[in-house]
Chains A and B, each alone.
Chain A
Amino acid sequence: MVRIMNRLKNIYIPLLAMLVMVQSVVAQKTGSESDYYKLTKIAAPEGVQLEGGGVLVLQDGSVAMSTRRGDVWIVENPRMEGGTKPNFRLFASGLHEPLGLSYKNGSLYTTQRGELTKLTDTNGDRIADEYETIYAWPLSTHYHEYSFGPVIAPDNSFFVSMNVAFGSEEWWRGESRVPWRGWMVNITEEGKMTPWATGMRSPAGYGLIDDELFYTDNQGDWIGSGGLWHVPKGAFIAHPAGLKWTGHPDSPVKITEEDFYSNIDKRQVRENGRYVKPSNIENEADPDFVYEMKEKFPEIQLPAVILPHGILGISNSQLLVDKSKGKFGPFDGQVFIGDQGQSKIMRVVLEKVKGEYQGVAFDFRSGFQSGVMRMDWDQYGNLFVGETNRGWGSAGTTNSGLEYVTWTGKMPFEMKTVSAKPDGFEITFTKPVDIASANDLNSYVGKNYVYKYHAVYGSPQTNIEEANIKGVKVSEDGMTVRIVMDNLRQYYVHEFTLGGILDSETGGNLLHPTMYYTLNNIPEGSKLPLNELSTKRSGTTKKTVGKSAPAKMNHNADNPNAGGAAASKKSVISDAEAGRMLTKNTCVACHQKDKRVVGPSFQAIAKRKYSDEKIVELIYNPQPKNWPEYATPMAPMPQVPRDQALKIAAWINSLN
């Protein structure tokens, strides 16, 4: 890979801006995720559906798991050490989609759709015999009114989060039909409920970081991309549905719906007697961004970390801080966030700049058997993962399950953390980097972008700009690199792929070469003097020359095998280039080359023997009925440029 990288001549070519690894290209030296983090499945008895809604490790090392089917299982001996078998006990059943579990004073607490429930075994048979309602709230009986939690707050009260419903005719519009949908609420053991914050759309993930409440949300209307938010009391996140109840005397948020919609277009349009689903306005002259609205409404809480949709998940779930003190590897104190659709776990490191949280996100571990929903640590640093895809489809091919992740003890070569600097970023590695590779600016490709704030479902990456890297400074021990650039943009996601950085020990690449930093604030302080920076670029001679005629180098340059293929048939792009195009157009959110994920594999599509033209047509105008066994219909992708769509189609057909 490094050689391939070194042959890339022109980093300003837009194509290369999107340089993202395709797994098949990762050099052997780097190894794979499973070399460092091993997954172990805990098989459930036949007929038991472990659709994970809550996962909780208990004092004795057993794992409690609440499921969508309304059960709470206690899995004893879940690690199955020495080849022993786990024991499944049905602790509770008959609950209404309990989507979370917590422990306090001998009881388990769970959130059903309509109430916070305390489950207690009073007679010692490890079967709950009290199902006590702590607090019940109204529901309109819309299917999407999921309720999540609880999180136990530092003061021993509970946080519960409430999903929105959707409109009837405007089925795309999240709405809060009854209090307190679209909110997080605080509930005491005595059943006193206080609304805490609103602006949530689908708040499936939650947890405490530094004793502060955080949650994750999914891309959707008003949420351009999924991400992680800090939720101080009185915060307004993004989705306006919950504003319906801000007139209530208990509401800590004071923004009214009227106020809100007088500042931003609700995109509620009726034509010919029917509502028109709002769609993204291409080349929009002056799109709205949430940070602009924050100037009007200071209660708005910007995402601490954006998890770019389609790349770092498509349906973010549980967040969990690593408190294993190193038992789980080098990421102590960092935050892990699951994803249902992509069946994987991301890693986030937060820092506080100017009093607000922000930070960086990376891929961490993929390959779970189903959607990652809930996680908890055992005391030995194993990460237990409860899984479901809840009917939406997932990269993992099963509908549900329970697995755990173990650090094998081998140190992965990763970016351990990234912090913002006045003139760029400082990256710290888990192992020393090869200094020469780190000093070469061709090892770094970056861009930054932001997401729109609008009533449309999701947002494309907007205002994309290449990172203009001035130089880098590598520490003597090879553990840190300072990247200095001159186009830092506040509020934007700064994405860098360090494709050329090598492990000084093995010569391998980074296990996950891309980082995504959400720069809500640029720290004050002194900048690095330019004379301390390496500005070296391998192949610089070509750079100067190349400016005039770079185009022909764009495509097959990075794959020596691609030339043969191109020569023998019509020109088919390489896997690596396909990977970039597929990533850029977020195809990889749902498709992989050889494996069923949310959608069919590209190989399976190739077997259909569509013409290239037909595939292009299907990209623009998918026919989910052609794939009845896939639960999630593909959205039309009109934004894929036709020339790229054709290349992708030809590449897909070359897989047959």
Chain B
Amino acid sequence: MRVLLIVAIIASSYGVMAQTQLSLENLDDFKSQAGNWQIVGDVSMNRNVDVHHKPAPEESKKKKKKKKEVEETPKAVDFTSGTGILLNINDDQKKDHIITNFEHGDIELELDVMLPKGSNSGIYLQGRYELQLFDSWGSKNPKYSDIGGIYRNWEKEPGKILVGIPPASNASKAPGLWQNLKLHFQAPVFDRSGNKIKNARFVYVELNGVRIHTNVDVALPTGGPIANNEVAMGPIMIQGDHGPVAIRNFKYKALKDLNAKISGLSYKTYLGEYKGIEEFEGQPAVASGSAKLIDVSATGEEDNYAIVYTGVLNIPESAEYLLSVGYTGGARLVVDNKTVVENLSSGAQGMLNEKVNLSSGTHPFTIYNYKSAGWRGPRLGFFIKGDDTNPVSFHHFNSFPDTPSGVSPILVDVAAQPKLHRGFVTFEKTGEKLSHTIGVGSPDGVHYIYDLNAANVIGVWRGDFIDATPMWHNRGNATFVPRGAVQWTFLNQPLVQLASPNSPFPDKADFSDFKPKGYAIDESTGAPVFKHEYKGVEVENRVQPDPTGTYLIHEITLSQSSPAGWYYKLAEGYIRKMSDGSFAINDQQYYVNVLSGQQAQIRTVNGVQELVVAVSGSSIKYEIIW
């Protein structure tokens, strides 16, 4: 038999292969509808205009005045012609849902969605199980009817009632911003006679990077389905009758089961404090035998063992496959006599992953595993997954159990007063771990991270405050994790003197002229006032929630007015000036709005746009809205 094996070199390019992205160049991927849905090139929404404040109320009094108000009100949704975005603007006549031509069972789906203020929509998996879309900005206790909620149905009959499931937290963003939704849905499963044997399930749903559902079964269709029956395959339906919604980057991957098998599995075990494969390979085995599945307990030992499994992998069709070996100690996977992936530690713990092109037919494989690390339990698992398949495992449950450690999380919440907590923080945009950072939580549930080494707000989020488990459990790693959808900003020292208006901001503060001085607690608010000295000027930073407790206002005050050549950087990334005078940052991820009167300029340095103000007066005040 001819065997073909190509080890993937550029892993990143493979993610796209079995994933389908709707082109959104036209409406050909959808069934026809009344015309409320269209393809557009760009969408911009005015975050201040509520779509439900329409002229409609037919009350006679003040009718004239109302009309005038409406005329003066800017439009909630603006768009340009072009392609790439699916936009719904419904009215009383045209208010159809839109339905995809494709049908799906198990599916991974990812898309960006934008809603104007007050709007309401929903995504129905298989046309039957609705994940709610809603302008839930600022909602403190999200319900099933808020964005990310799994909607209820309206049945009254006992046994047919479906209760809605709210998202675990409100991870939503302000109106007019793009929000990322990512999910894995499993279709219900039926036996041969058509009886349902497994419920539909949201394996996970993530909104703006925050997991809001995990392994939620949905026993019945939610309210307003395309049909009331449950089926193996159905289209995606997006609600179009309750207000505008824009969708882009609509990507999905239909998942199927993989009929891969292993055969001829046998093993050899070795006992010893091995630090590498060469130390036991070729030595006489302590035990050997054949097996149906991989099971590390065949060594009979907790530690200081090695085990080698050989067998044949039977692949149903030629394709690229992700091969994974979960292990403790060290491990190597060999397929078709070539090493696919390895970690030659003796005390590691992890998952080796490699994408490999495998032809249909048989492929001999060998897995080496050895461990000399008493503090780790024996673990060995072997998985294969096609790009568009569910994974198949070839090990006993106990050889690689899929349950976590069972550590009680140490969660820090905010009570009546603002809560401060210093710790290392990973700046997720770059992966850099920052050392002199402090999380500040407000009782309103609007939080931020301040970098004391740069005097900069580097991340903001709403919801719960922080998870200190990584910091305080056992020895800890001194790092806390925000419990919400963090809008990360940028890492420079934002307030600096520049040699010229186009000079770049320094990557790191220069401590010969930048002196962090800590903070004082404002007695009236309980909030910190951060202090530092820069080139002899005393600077204070205050960050407070807006009066509604939804977003943040950052004020920087200087002991000297209008120092020459000083600039303040407000943001970086792709920057768009909005009709209300604020700026949408990084492709409508968040807004910055200057309150203190200075004119913010968009400049480009080293190919990156920056929003900068020249420092005039002794205060800069701006809103961070997300």
Q: Which A residues are closer than 8 A to B by beta carbons?
A: 49, 68-70, 93-97, 112-115, 117-118, 122-123, 127-133, 136, 138-141, 143, 145, 191, 271-274, 276, 390-392, 621-626, 631, 633-634, 636
Q: Given A622-B374, A625-B376, are A631 and B474 also a contact pair (CB < 8 Å)?
A: yes
Q: Which chain B residues numbered 124 to 158 have a C-beta less than 8 Å away from chain A?
A: none
Shortest CB-to-CB span from B436 to chain A, Å, is 5
A113 touches B435 (CB 8 A): yes
A136 touches B375 (CB 8 A): no
Given A130-B518, A623-B303, A636-B374, 7 additional A-B pairs, CB 8 A: A94-B421, A115-B516, A115-B518, A131-B520, A136-B452, A139-B436, A633-B374
B419 touches A114 (CB 8 A): no
Binary contact track B459-479/A, C-beta < 8 Å → 1, others 0: 000000000000011111111
A–B pairs, 12, beta carbons within 8 Å: A96-B422, A113-B435, A114-B436, A118-B518, A128-B521, A133-B517, A136-B516, A139-B435, A141-B434, A391-B476, A622-B374, A626-B302
**A133 to B, closest residue via Cβ:** B518
A625 touches B419 (CB 8 A): no
Contact with B302, one of A49, A96, A625 (Cβ below 8 angstroms): A625
**Complex CA distance for A496 and B471, rounded to whole angstroms:** 44
List the 4 shortest-distance A-B pairs measured between CB atoms, nearest first. Answer: A94-B420, A391-B474, A96-B422, A391-B475
A129 touches B520 (CB 8 A): yes
Identify which of B276, B434, B518 gathers the most chain A CB atoms within 10 Å of its CB.
B518
B519 touches A390 (CB 8 A): no
Residues of chain B with a CB closer than 8 A to A93's CB: 419-421
We find that the number of chain B residues with CB closer than 8 angstroms to chain A is 45
Contact with A133, one of B304, B434, B477, B516 (Cβ below 8 angstroms): B516
Shortest CB-to-CB span from A241 to chain B, Å, is 18
**Complex CA distance for A532 and B120, rounded to whole angstroms:** 103
Residues of chain B with a CB closer than 8 A to A128's CB: 521
A115 touches B302 (CB 8 A): no
Contact with B435, one of A114, A123, A130, A626 (Cβ below 8 angstroms): A114
The answer to the question of B269 belonging to the interface, with a C-beta cut-off of 8 Å to chain A, is no
Residues of chain B with a CB closer than 8 A to A115's CB: 436, 516, 518
**Complex CA distance for A468 and B506, rounded to whole angstroms:** 69
Residues of chain B with a CB closer than 8 A to A129's CB: 520-521, 523
Shortest CB-to-CB span from B475 to chain A, Å, is 4
The answer to the question of B59 belonging to the interface, with a C-beta cut-off of 8 Å to chain A, is no
Q: Which B residues are closer than 8 A to A by beta carbons?
A: 273, 275-276, 278, 302-304, 344-345, 374-377, 419-424, 433-436, 438, 452-453, 472-479, 511, 515-521, 523, 528, 531
Residues of chain A with a CB closer than 8 A to B278's CB: 272
Shortest CB-to-CB span from B519 to chain A, Å, is 5
**Complex CA distance for A254 and B375, rounded to whole angstroms:** 40
Shortest CB-to-CB span from A121 to chain B, Å, is 10
**A130 to B, closest residue via Cβ:** B520
Shortest CB-to-CB span from A629 to chain B, Å, is 12
B518 touches A132 (CB 8 A): yes
Shortest CB-to-CB span from A582 to chain B, Å, is 21
B421 touches A141 (CB 8 A): no
B303 touches A112 (CB 8 A): no
A274 touches B276 (CB 8 A): yes
Shortest CB-to-CB span from B540 to chain A, Å, is 13
Q: Given A623-B303, A625-B376, A634-B374, are A95 and B472 also a contact pair (CB < 8 Å)?
A: no
A138 touches B435 (CB 8 A): yes
**Complex CA distance for A69 and B469, rounded to whole angstroms:** 11
Identify which of A68, A132, A136, A191 gathers the most chain B CB atoms within 10 Å of its CB.
A136
Q: Given A136-B516, A141-B433, A624-B375, are A392 and B475 also a contact pair (CB < 8 Å)?
A: yes
**Complex CA distance for A143 and B475, rounded to whole angstroms:** 8
Identify which of B278, B434, B435, B452 gathers the most chain A CB atoms within 10 Å of its CB.
B435
Residues of chain B with a CB closer than 8 A to A95's CB: 422
**Complex CA distance for A122 and B475, rounded to whole angstroms:** 35
Residues of chain B with a CB closer than 8 A to A274's CB: 275-276, 344-345
**Complex CA distance for A130 and B436, rounded to whole angstroms:** 17
**Complex CA distance for A122 and B478, rounded to whole angstroms:** 30
Q: Given A70-B421, A273-B344, are A621 and B303 also a contact pair (CB < 8 Å)?
A: yes
**Complex CA distance for A96 and B477, rounded to whole angstroms:** 12
Residues of chain B with a CB closer than 8 A to A636's CB: 374
A133 touches B452 (CB 8 A): yes
B515 touches A621 (CB 8 A): no
Residues of chain B with a CB closer than 8 A to A127's CB: 521
**Complex CA distance for A392 and B474, rounded to whole angstroms:** 7
**Complex CA distance for A274 and B436, rounded to whole angstroms:** 34
Residues of chain B with a CB closer than 8 A to A626's CB: 302
**A93 to B, closest residue via Cβ:** B420
Residues of chain A with a CB closer than 8 A to B419's CB: 93-94
Q: Given A133-B518, A138-B435, A139-B435, are A623 and B374 also a contact pair (CB < 8 Å)?
A: yes
**B420 to A, closest residue via Cβ:** A94
Residues of chain A with a CB closer than 8 A to B435's CB: 113-114, 138-141
**B433 to A, closest residue via Cβ:** A141
Q: Given A136-B452, A141-B478, A391-B475, are A624 and B516 also a contact pair (CB < 8 Å)?
A: no
Contact with A113, one of B421, B433, B478 (Cβ below 8 angstroms): B478
Q: Given A117-B518, A133-B517, are A94 and B374 also a contact pair (CB < 8 Å)?
A: no
Contact with A141, one of B374, B424, B520 (Cβ below 8 angstroms): B424
Residues of chain B with a CB closer than 8 A to A133's CB: 452, 516-518
**B511 to A, closest residue via Cβ:** A136
B472 touches A69 (CB 8 A): yes
B303 touches A625 (CB 8 A): yes
Q: Given A133-B518, A141-B478, A625-B303, are A94 and B344 also a contact pair (CB < 8 Å)?
A: no
Shortest CB-to-CB span from A160 to chain B, Å, is 15
Residues of chain B with a CB closer than 8 A to A69's CB: 472
**Complex CA distance for A634 and B511, rounded to whole angstroms:** 44
Q: Given A141-B433, A623-B374, are A191 and B474 also a contact pair (CB < 8 Å)?
A: no
